[in-house]
Structure 1
């Protein structure tokens, strides 16, 4: 019978320690996997909730009207001054001749949006030959009708708990049975500005405001940030003042953005007298927000360039400024661009500093320049989220989807530039 060799106490202690470390490693691995699963679960829930609430906003309900452009409505030379709301009402009354009481007529006209009159006005002013003819025209339905058609309102609840009463339900069913109600792609959501009426509200005004604001921020923050990074990394002496500047730049990157909004309110608006609620002031404020990020990213990109590049350039007789501009800066530029895009993505999602400079105002018109009153996409989302109508909940989620799409696009560009132009040393 073979005897099992006896292990020394030291070997036993080592094996026990190894087993304990292996078990600890397995627990840590399980904890890491659990953290990732939990994070992904919350992300899926978040995105699922936003998409489920907002995807229906990309479709809009339309009602077909058989409009008779009677000559009696166009007595003056100014066609735009005609009684187009009256023309819409007359068309609806002719489609439901059994509606005779004043209250029922009012309920009937509430089925279509007030935008219907403006649509008819645009058609007639563009083509006066329509006068005297009868046309089948699709017009926007009211937001309550839109919510009903999309299934957001339960038609089986008591009439007192519905925003659409039984008579209106019967008229809507009659229109649907005759093929005069349909859902179309909601182009107005992408081409119009804000509105008090949910079915007419769109994101184009806020998108234009965001574009102008980011353009100002990029035009100022990129050259200033790159110049500051070059000076601090390549030319600044190693003394207490330089250390103080570096510490303050790092601290500014962690300052809450609303502080920059207060600074912009105090300096740009109250002291310099710039117009409130404009992309010009918004761009200046976002420049302050993004500058620390761009400077820190720029310095990191410059540090990644090997010292041998600098030494080789200086060794063949290049001046220090030639060494930086001709050799170091081109090699560091991909990293600087990546940091800039990430900074711009952060600026695109900022709301608090812009609220402080008045970009929370209700702006209907599409801004045409950086000095026109405007709002931005995050502020537009904030305004819609505060509205009580159910249709604005849908628009809020749809605007969030578009904002997230822009942010993903910008971060994707940052990753693309980094992978395409990054040099391995």
Structure 2
């Protein structure tokens, strides 16, 4: 009887401990799920904020005007020389087209208000049209030209019509805008300038193409240098080097470099690449070299982990069949480790494409209008372009900043999709 009582008491204690342990496990599981939900909620809020502010930048208000390509203004001599066509007064053509649309604008103030409705870069669009097709000279065409950024913001609801609430338009200007909209001569169209132009002081003409090309050239230089150097270093340290104080020192330094702030690499690039080797400032070549320093430690560490993950019997079997150590590594170990190496490379590239501090230090923060034609031309990059637009006071640059972030995220998504494709391809081969 006493034994039964003792067994019953012991069972109760065990059950109580089990209940407490189960309760702790449930709480731990709840905390884990709650933390994931909170993290996903913050991510959703961030993405919603970016998309809600940036999606409107993909549309731009444009104004349709009947433009007369007057030969006396564009090419008085009739020689069709490119220098003459390029230096013509296309602003006069825009002004004449607006006066034909609004003949009531007779005094200087009214004409100034009228000109303020259209982009200051509208003449550049007419210049491009004439330079591309000189046969337009002497004709009259309906042309869609970019409206001013303030008109675009008014149509998108980001600006009030009331001057007391921040509105920038007079009643006469509002009447002209309403007349254009009612006649179908003012509408929102796809913002082609965002994807075909470089940076501009005019928000309605500011584009990302120069930054995209600059980022592409910088990443091309980065992956060309960092991938073979990183993989070769990992192979040597993992497969060929002997354990001594020098290799230990190298490994410690590689691990430490992975945690060094990126601005330190920017300072190093500023001193070595610009001041010592006198490479061109603000060039994607220098940006790629600086980003190579940033991504190399990540690629080396990930490649070493991938090489370690290859089973040792692969090496033993290759050596047992008479392969040399180099043949064993290149023909057997490296192909099996390639999926992990590619993953580490993409992680390094993803870090590089989002870095702005090293690029700021080497001068890629400069205002660059032209799209770079080579890695040696002055350029900027997507993260730096976001930084520049975020610091601009115009309201129109706010939505373009969010749009640039969306493009950068899409850029990263494409990179990761490419990495997954290559990794799966190698996995199927082996």
Structure 2 length-normalised TM: 0.94
1:17 aligns with 17
1:64 aligns with 64
Structure 2 unaligned blocks of 5 or more: none
Which SS does the other structure have where 1:8 is aligned? helix
1:90 aligns with 96
Q: Is the 8 A contact 2:163 2:169 kept in 1?
A: no
1:318 aligns with 323
**How big is the shift at 1:160?**
6.8
Query: Residue 154 of structure 2: which of 136, 140, 148 is its match?
Result: 148
1:43 aligns with 43
Which SS does the other structure have where 1:66 is aligned? strand
Q: Is the 8 A contact 1:159 1:166 kept in 2?
A: no
Which SS does the other structure have where 1:136 is aligned? strand
Note the 1:370-389 alignment, pairs <5 A.
370-389=375-394
Query: Residue 296 of structure 2: which of 279, 287, 291 is its match?
Result: 291
**How big is the shift at 1:419?**
4.4
Structure 2 residue 145 is the aligned partner of structure 1 residue 139: yes
**How big is the shift at 1:423?**
7.9
In 1: Cα distance, 2:372 partner to 2:131 partner: 24
Residue-by-residue CA offset, 1:48-74 (whole Å, 9 max, x unaligned): 000000001111111000112233323
Note the 1:351-362 alignment, pairs <5 A.
351-362=356-367
Between the two proteins, the alignment pairs up a number of residues equal to: 420
In 1: Cα distance, 2:378 partner to 2:136 partner: 36
1:194 aligns with 199
Stretch of structure 1 that moved more, 121-130 or 276-285:
121-130
In 2: Cα distance, 1:424 partner to 1:173 partner: 64
Which SS does the other structure have where 1:400 is aligned? helix
Which SS does the other structure have where 1:67 is aligned? strand
In 1: Cα distance, 2:190 partner to 2:413 partner: 24
**How big is the shift at 1:154?**
2.1
In 2: Cα distance, 1:414 partner to 1:269 partner: 33
Distance 1:29 1:181, change over 3 A: same
CA RMSD of aligned residues (A): 1.7
Structure 2 residue 357 is the aligned partner of structure 1 residue 329: no
1:111 aligns with 117
Stretch of structure 1 that moved more, 119-128 or 332-341:
119-128
Q: Is the 8 A contact 2:237 2:247 kept in 1?
A: yes
In 1: Cα distance, 2:68 partner to 2:276 partner: 58
Residue-by-residue CA offset, 1:385-412 (whole Å, 9 max, x unaligned): 0000011001100000000111122223
Which SS does the other structure have where 2:304 is aligned? helix
**How big is the shift at 1:159?**
4.7
1:102 aligns with 108
1:75 aligns with 76
Structure 1 length-normalised TM: 0.95
Distance 1:336 1:31, change over 3 A: same
Q: Is the 8 A contact 2:159 2:166 kept in 1?
A: no
In 2: Cα distance, 1:98 partner to 1:322 partner: 84
